[in-house]
Amino acid sequence: MNAGTLMDLILPLGLVVLAEIILRQRRAAEAVAQFMVFGLLMAVAWVRVDAPDLALTEAAIGSGVTGALLLAALRRIGPHREPTRPLPSPARLPVYTATLLLGGALSWALIELWSDPVSLTAAVDARLAESGSSNPVAAVILNFRAYDTFLEIGVLLLSALAVYTLAGSRGRRSLEEPGPVFQFYLSRLAPLFAIVALYLVWIGSRRPGGAFPAGALLSGVGVLVLLGASPWPLGLHRKVVRYLLVAGFGVFLFAGLWGGRYGAMLTLPPEQAKAWKLLIELACMLSIGFSFTVLFACCAGWLGDESGEGT
Amino acid sequence: MITDHLPVLQVVIPLLAAPLCVVLRGSFAVRQFVKVVSGLTFLCSLLIFTHVTRHGAMGYELGGWQPPWGIEYRVDALNAFLLLIISGMAAVILPYGTRSILREIPREQHHLFLAIFLVCVAGLLGIAVTADIFNVFVFLEISALSSYALIGMGRSRRALTAAYQYLIMGTIGSTFLLIGIGLLYMKTGTLNMADLALRMPPPHESSTVIAAFAFLSVGVSIKLAVFPLHTWLPNAYTFAPSMVTAFLAATATKVSFYLLLRIVFTVFGVGFAFEAMHLQLLLPPLALAGIFVASTVAIFQTNIKRLLAFSSIAQIGYMVLGLSFGTATGLTAGIVHLFNHAVMKSSLFLAIGCVSFALGAVDLRAMRGLGRRMPFTMAAFLIGGLNLIGIPFTAGFVSKWYLILAALEQQRWFVAGFCLLSSLLAAVYIGRVVEAAYFHDPDPQLTARPVPRGMLAPLWLLTGASLFFGIFTSFPVGAAQRAALLLLGGAP
């Protein structure tokens, strides 16, 4: 048994055990921290199944952004809350039974796939040349199934709008001044993150990367700047942020309609494809970054009507 | 030229309009704008419907990539009809909503609310139009997320709890769907529904496919609110803003029913679903129990929106019952009821929306004496109620008629009798409201504001439609029969 196989055995087991620990956790702050660890472990699991693109996104969004959102929400609820009570054991029994049965059914369904898995990898490779990307994942995301990606950007815009509408009407808090150490790191980390984000978009067509992890990194910049008590990502809000939020969706849609001239919607002629895809990815990166920043600010209560202060 | 692009325009028009609402901002401007958009969307579906009726199915390959690489849109007799229903409902309910939100949503949020509403319309249209099962999932997420937000924007704080409940149940439902889609993809290597049908291995050879069928049908059943997976629905419908309740009641569960039809008949096929999976034995008990329990619970409700919500669960039972026969008549009954129920239930919810606008309350006590104080609204409610009961010369009667025909065709006397009996239950819960409205004196303390004509006109348009299609049945029944034959004939 080599190290890889050992890891393949330990990882899923660790995920299940960690999930159980999180469910039993009585203090919310600890549960959030463990949840972020869960995201990182999950990212390692994606690496093990040869999906580095997913691993990047999982680490950035599943662990980073989601964790930040949960922490912000937690902070808003306040630390002086009673610890939540876990389900009493008799009530837990049917839940465990149902989960085990479901898991069993799923494993039973998967066993036969063990011997003859079917995939489209060969089919995708066959037409990779037409897409203008050498990374098959990028080809699927931005060419073959660009429409799904476009809609996912729509989902993100939608969730930013929804959270802003629901949380925005429930009051606003002011930003808090951080210490000098934080300020020191902020001024050095923020530009670095932004550069890495740009790099991820640039290499996306050849290697793992692309708009989603890049956008998540960019939102990290946004969140850090907010935590540094500098409200400019939100101060922009009334003029530019609205446009930045819809930029990715808008550019994608425009590219789609432009493609309509060459046949069907989203048809990109090979000679223009590369430029369009870079433009789309950049716009999407900005929108993803700003959407997550707005989500974070809403969760923390930094965005909203000034009249509703204190609720 | 433009005709070729119609299937994609159907979704792109509302999807393009939504960010424009966000940028446009002003309440008045946005409210006028969405009326135009809903009109254009409806026009688009009308063109598609006539084209499909005359020339047969329309296809559209997004990005010019043919399946299984790319995503395909395909409109046939079934989803052309559904597109017409969704966009028709949006075209009637949006103008109504531009008035009703004045009392329900803060003015500075109108543009965001209407933007999210348009995204919801686009999501539902997308589920109907696409031929790719993963694309279905993405659109399902879009429509579901926007519904959670729309429901959460109800006036009472409990709207948030209701939206959260729906979010949890809805997420479980989509997870089941996603697992099912994943299993199918791993087994067949395609996501296109027609392709899936071709490559589907026989059930006795593959446990993966059986599991996929189970996961997909449970997932859709949660979205469809089939008894006993309906628990999210009553609160969601009760606390949502009036126009949202009316629109979701008219379309969201209908789209889920369409999805169930597609999965059962197009992807898996009659042989798989009925001979191997025995849907004809599994579904009728759930459908009948749903009709009986939900109708009985409805009788004891005092909040009229909640009463109508339980009635919706019962009506979903009728549609599922129609499907469970697996015959042309049964499917016709189910699809006709999909149309009729969309018309009658939205008219009922619009009537209650008018009451809510006038009085700010929708409980049974507030309904007292309304027959005299709001004669137009209550007359519409009465007609909608008669539809639910299934009185002859209403659209509701047509649905019941085909359902009983389908039951008798298979000599299921018990089911046919049950359908008649359940009408009595509907008569009781509608009767309680009608009694309060017409045989009690109004509460002198409650003052009613006048309801604007812009709300009464859409209400009466739908009420008129429910009477019209009760007498001139050829349009809905014809469309439903074509769709039923198509489903039984195999892949579109």
B291-320 residues touching A, CB cutoff 8 A = none
pLDDT at A149: 84
Q: Answer whether residue B392 is part of any domain.
A: yes
At what angle are helices B453-471 and B375-389 packed, to 10 degrees? 30
What are the structure tokens assigned to A201, written together?
């978009």
Q: Chain A: residue nearest B154 by CA? A: A166
Calculate mean pLDDT across residues B360-379.
Answer: 87
A283 and A149 Cβ atoms separated by less than 8 Å = no
Q: Answer whether residue B239 is part of any domain.
A: no
B94-123 residues touching A, CB cutoff 8 A = 106, 109, 112-113, 115-116, 119
Q: How confident is the model at residue B385 (pLDDT cuts 50, 70, 90)?
A: very high
Question: Residues A19-58: pLDDT tens digits?
Answer: 988 888 878 888 888 999 999 999 999 888 888 878 888 8
Q: Chain B: residue nearest A124 by CA? A: B69
Alpha-carbon distance of A155 to A299, in angstroms, equals: 18
Q: How confident is the model at residue A237 (pLDDT cuts 50, 70, 90)?
A: low
Mean confidence (pLDDT) of chain A: 78
Map residue B61 onto helix, strand or coil.
strand
Question: Residues B393-404: pLDDT tens digits?
Answer: 899 899 999 999
Question: Residues B409-428: pLDDT tens digits?
Answer: 888 888 888 888 899 999 99
Alpha-carbon distance of A176 to A209, in angstroms, equals: 34
CB spacing of B142 vs A155 below 8 angstroms:
yes
Gap from A263 CA to chain B (nearest CA, Å)? 7
Range of the domain at B414: 278-492
pLDDT at B450: 86
Beta bridge partners of B192: B132
Q: Answer whether residue B240 is part of any domain.
A: no
B257 and B291 Cβ atoms separated by less than 8 Å = no
CB spacing of A266 vs B63 below 8 angstroms:
yes
CA proximity to A159, closest of A171, A167, A169, A170 = A167
Kindly report the CA angle at B108 between B107 and B112, in degrees rounded to 5?
105
Domain boundaries, chain A: 1-118, 120-311
Tell me the chain A residues in contact with residue B62 when contact means C-beta distances shorter than 8 Å. 146-147, 264-266
Tell me the chain B residues in contact with residue A241 when contact means C-beta distances shorter than 8 Å. none
pLDDT at A176: 67
CB spacing of B152 vs A249 below 8 angstroms:
no
Question: Residues B138-196: pLDDT tens digits?
Answer: 999 999 999 999 999 888 888 889 999 999 999 999 999 999 999 888 888 888 888 88
More confident residue, B286 or A255: B286
Q: How confident is the model at residue A306 (pLDDT cuts 50, 70, 90)?
A: very low
pLDDT at B269: 85
- The answer for residues whose C-beta is within 8 angstroms of residue B389's C-beta and 6 or more apart is B396, B423, B426, B427, B430
What value of ipTM does the predicted structure carry?
A: 0.86
Q: How confident is the model at residue B27 (pLDDT cuts 50, 70, 90)?
A: confident
Tell me the chain B residues in contact with residue A147 when contact means C-beta distances shorter than 8 Å. 62-63, 71, 135
Q: Answer whether residue B402 is part of any domain.
A: yes
Q: Which long-range contacts (CB under 8 A, 24 or more apart) does B29-36 make?
A: B30/B110, B30/B111, B30/B114, B30/B115, B31/B98, B31/B110, B31/B114, B32/B98, B34/B94, B34/B98, B34/B114, B34/B117, B34/B118, B35/B94, B35/B95, B35/B98
- The answer for residues whose C-beta is within 8 angstroms of residue A135's C-beta and 6 or more apart is A204, A205, A206, A207, A208
CB spacing of A124 vs B69 below 8 angstroms:
yes
Q: How confident is the model at residue B87 (pLDDT cuts 50, 70, 90)?
A: very high
pLDDT at A245: 82
Predicted confidence (pLDDT) at residue A307 exceeds the cutoff of 70: no
Torsion angles phi and psi, residue A281, rounded to 5? -65, -40
pLDDT at B425: 92
pLDDT at A308: 39
Tell me the chain B residues in contact with residue A267 when contact means C-beta distances shorter than 8 Å. 63-64
Predicted confidence (pLDDT) at residue A310 exceeds the cutoff of 50: no
Gap from B341 CA to chain A (nearest CA, Å)? 29
CB spacing of A151 vs B116 below 8 angstroms:
no
Predicted confidence (pLDDT) at residue A281 exceeds the cutoff of 60: yes
Q: Answer whether residue B345 is part of any domain.
A: yes
Q: Chain B: residue nearest A107 by CA? A: B208
CB spacing of A264 vs B60 below 8 angstroms:
yes
CA proximity to B261, closest of B298, B304, B216 = B216
Calculate mean pLDDT across residues B21-48.
Answer: 89
pTM, whole model, 2 decimals?
0.91
Question: Residues A118-172: pLDDT tens digits?
Answer: 666 777 777 776 666 677 777 777 777 788 888 888 888 888 888 888 876 555 5
CB spacing of B186 vs A117 below 8 angstroms:
yes
B220 and B133 Cβ atoms separated by less than 8 Å = no
Calculate mean pLDDT across residues B333-345.
Answer: 93
Predicted confidence (pLDDT) at residue B94 exceeds the cutoff of 80: yes
B168-187 residues touching A, CB cutoff 8 A = 179, 183, 186-187
Calculate mean pLDDT across residues B474-480.
Answer: 90
Residue B55, Cβ density class (10 Å: 0-12 exposed, 13-18 middle, ≥19 buried): exposed
Q: How many CA atoms lie within 13 A of B108 on its CB side?
A: 7
Q: Answer whether residue B258 is part of any domain.
A: no
pLDDT at B338: 93
Cβ–Cβ contact B11 with A under 8 A: no
What are the structure tokens assigned to B294, written together?
């939900």
Q: Answer whether residue B448 is part of any domain.
A: yes
pLDDT at B427: 92
CB spacing of A109 vs B12 below 8 angstroms:
no
Mean confidence (pLDDT) of chain B: 89
> Domains in chain B: how many in total?
1
Predicted confidence (pLDDT) at residue A262 exceeds the cutoff of 60: yes
Interface test with A, best of B2, B12, B69 (most A CBs within 10 A): B69
Q: Answer whether residue B366 is part of any domain.
A: yes
Question: Residues B175-188: pLDDT tens digits?
Answer: 999 999 998 888 88
Beta bridge partners of B72: B61
Tell me the chain B residues in contact with residue A252 when contact means C-beta distances shorter than 8 Å. none
Q: Chain B: residue nearest A251 by CA? A: B16
Alpha-carbon distance of A198 to A207, in angstroms, equals: 14
Question: Residues B112-137: pLDDT tens digits?
Answer: 899 999 999 999 999 999 999 999 99
Out of A113, A151, A263, whose CB is closest to B139? Answer: A151
CA proximity to B420, closest of B275, B291, B250 = B291
